[in-house]
Amino acid sequence: MDTEELREVIGELQRLNTDMRTVEAKRASFEAPQRLWQTISAFANTPGAGQGLIVLGLDEAQGFAVSGIADYKHVQEGVQTQCRDMVPPLRAAVEPH
C-alpha cells in the first residue's frame, strides 16, 4: 500500500467514523496495543485471510484523527512479537508511512 492509498483509507474511516470489516484503526504512540492479537487473529480467521489492514497511529475516540507513532521501532517489534506468539505464528507486513 502506498501513502496515497493509506490516505484514502484514513479518509474513509474518518468519513464513516467507524472501523470497517477489513480495516481497523488503533492508537499506538509508544507501543503496540496489548490486545492487538485479537484483531490480528480475527483477520487471519476471516475468509480471504491476509486482507485485513490495521492502521496504527489513529485515535478512534477523536474521530480517527492522526495521533502518530512516537517510537516506530518499539511499536513494530511489539506487533511482530504478538504475531510470532500466535499459534500458528503469523508474519505481518509492517510498513511505516
pLDDT at 57 over 70: yes
pLDDT at 15 over 60: yes
The verdict on residue 89 lying in a domain is: no
pLDDT at 92 over 80: yes
pLDDT at residue 78, rounded to an integer: 93
The verdict on residue 7 lying in a domain is: yes
pLDDT at residue 25, rounded to an integer: 95
Per-residue model confidence as pLDDT tens digits over 61-73: 999 999 999 999 9
Whole-number average pLDDT of the chain: 91
Identify whether the C-beta of residue 53 lies closer than 8 Å to the C-beta of residue 92. no
The verdict on residue 50 lying in a domain is: yes
Domain encompassing residue 57: 3-84
pLDDT at 47 over 60: yes
The verdict on residue 69 lying in a domain is: yes
Q: Look at the chain and report how many structural domains it folds into.
A: 1
Question: Which whole number is the average pLDDT over 19-41?
Answer: 91
The verdict on residue 96 lying in a domain is: no
